[in-house]
Amino acid sequence: MFEIILSAIPVAIWTYLLIGQGGFWLCRERDVPVPVAPSRWPAVAAVVPARNEADCIGESVGSLLGQDYPGPLHIVLVDDDSDDGTATVAEQAARGLPACHSLTVVRSRSLPSGWTGKLWAVKQGVDVAQTAQPEARYLLLTDADIVHSPDSLRTLVARAEEGGHVLTSLMAKLRCESQAERSHVPAFVFFFQMLFPFAWVNDPARATAGAAGGCMLVKAAALRQAGGIESIRGALIDDCSLAQQLKAHGPIWLGLTERVRSIRRYEGWGEVKHMISRSAYAQLRYSPLLLAGTTVGLGLTFLAAPLLAVFGDGAARLLGIAAWAMMALAFQPMLRFYRVSPLWGLALPAIALLYMAYTLDSAYQFARGHGGTWKGRAQANVSGS
């Protein structure tokens, strides 16, 4: 009897996830069709924080300078204490392009206590952008490894203007070519959607708030009302923290896109592990209780079904197979979006087990004082809270 009850749990979980979690798995929230163009294109200032991004920054800055945006666009690159010539590469890229828009490169000042490095760079960039272009209605906050198609900003602004959004964010399409990327990237976005169903994020009546930090178009007035970047200065998961702040001041929107992509490479398993574990424990608010609960939850949701399917008997085995099939089915739209084999759906329990291990490692690194390490900085819980 206990085995039957246990085997029914993952079926119940996946039944709810398929019909009750905002349809997260369907991948319906996308940046198509393109909204109607506004009658007047407002000024936009883009802010790009960059720390040791010489490999990516030329292509990233070039894609911003090449935007076909009809309104004024000023780009501010903040060189966050790089030692690889990031700023020089960006300036050389700008000189080699018939740019339609302007670029300012600034060097970050010393990192003050209580700030993560990225947010301190963003804060400085916002200050410079608002001085250089005080009439800017929107701030485009984007990362140094992000490449935008020429119509990216135009589409973002049209959607923000049409919906009156204080935050319009696109989940950049991550690179998915190496074996490590194919095994982790679609699941990364799938799990993110499970935690923050985009339909709920986009519903003003719901409290759920999320964003993708690689591409966020923020209404400047709403950011000031929310307390500015200072209000999230110690946040490691800064995009979702900013979304939470801004949703209190107006509607927000988040969707998948083919127009914005990340060119950051994760060739080896160690690299992708670090990308995930860097902020996993922060998502749990550094709570051992939440860590324990998450571990149990992942086990029941992803691991119990295949174990029952392989080692169970009778009804328990059938229920295990059913739950495994349900999770494989739920993964298919994301696998199609990333153009990888549908057979990865059967591997979702093993992938979830890896993510569980990365989350536990994230907690371990935090306990050692190395939490949130990114390019030489340990940033987890920098506020000391």
**For 231-297, what is the HEC assignment?**
HHCCCCCHHHHHHHHHHCCCCEEEEEEEEEEECCCCCCHHHHHHHHHHHHHHHCCCCHHHHHHHHHH
- Residue 33 preceded by cis peptide, ω within 30: yes
Average pLDDT over residues 279-290: 92
pLDDT of residue 93: 84
Residue 232 — φ and ψ, nearest 5°?
A: -125, 25
Half-sphere exposure of residue 320: CA atoms within 13 angstroms, side-chain side: 22
| pLDDT tens column, 307-354 | 999 999 999 999 999 999 999 999 999 999 999 999 999 999 999 999
Average pLDDT over residues 66-91: 94
> In 3D, which of 121, 120, 91 has the Cα closest to residue 103?
91
In this prediction, residue 260 has a pLDDT band, given cuts at 50, 70 and 90, of: very high
Average pLDDT over residues 62-69: 95
> In 3D, which of 103, 97, 95 has the Cα closest to residue 50?
103
Average pLDDT over residues 35-57: 96
Beta strands in the chain (DSSP E): 44-50, 73-79, 102-107, 138-142, 146-148, 167-173, 215-219, 252-262
pLDDT of residue 378: 62
| pLDDT tens column, 194-251 | 999 999 999 999 999 999 999 999 999 999 999 999 999 999 899 999 999 999 999 9
* Rounded distance between C-alpha atoms, residue 64 and residue 14, angstroms: 41
Question: Using N-to-C axis directions, what is the helix angle for 269-283 and 179-195, rounded to 10°?
Answer: 10
Structure letter (DSSP) for residue 318: H
What amino acid is encoded at 321 in this protein? I
Average pLDDT over residues 136-159: 98
Average pLDDT over residues 102-111: 92
Residue 385 has pLDDT above 50, yes or no: no
In this prediction, residue 4 has a pLDDT band, given cuts at 50, 70 and 90, of: confident
Q: What is the CA 224 to chain-centroid distance, rounded? A: 23
Residue 99 has pLDDT above 80, yes or no: no
Token digits of residue 218: 């923020």
pLDDT of residue 383: 53
Mean pLDDT check: name the lowest of 287-296, 344-353, 373-382.
373-382
Token digits of residue 21: 């979690």
- The SS3 call for residue 347 is coil
pLDDT > 90: percent of the chain = 86
Residue with token string 């135009």: 154
In this prediction, residue 101 has a pLDDT band, given cuts at 50, 70 and 90, of: confident
Is residue 148 within 8 Å of residue 25, measured between CB atoms? no
Is residue 143 within 8 Å of residue 213, measured between CB atoms? yes
**Domain ranges across the chain:** 2-24+284-367, 31-269
pLDDT of residue 384: 46
pLDDT of residue 381: 64
* Rounded distance between C-alpha atoms, residue 55 and residue 367, angstroms: 32
| pLDDT tens column, 16-35 | 999 999 999 999 999 999 89
> Using CB atoms within 10 A of its CB, is residue 325 exposed (0-12), middle (13-18) or buried (19+)?
middle
* Rounded distance between C-alpha atoms, residue 99 and residue 110, angstroms: 31
Residue with token string 């059967």: 346
Q: Give the pairing type, strands 73-79 and 44-50.
A: parallel
Entry field: residues in the chain:
385
Higher pLDDT, 369 or 354: 354
Calculate the dihedral angle through the C-alpha atoms of 351, 333, 246, 160, rounding to the nearest 10 degrees: 150
What amino acid is encoded at 366 in this protein? F
In this prediction, residue 124 has a pLDDT band, given cuts at 50, 70 and 90, of: very high
Question: Using N-to-C axis directions, what is the helix angle for 54-65 and 86-95, rounded to 10°?
Answer: 30
Structure letter (DSSP) for residue 47: E
Selected from 3.90.550.10, 3.40.50.2300, 3.20.20.480, 3.50.30.40, the CATH number assigned to the domain covering 31-269 reads 3.90.550.10
> How high is the mean pLDDT of the chain?
93
pLDDT of residue 375: 67
Q: What is the CA 53 to chain-centroid distance, rounded? A: 18
81: left (phi over 0), alpha (psi -120 to 50) or beta: left
- The SS3 call for residue 354 is helix
In this prediction, residue 382 has a pLDDT band, given cuts at 50, 70 and 90, of: low
pLDDT of residue 368: 86
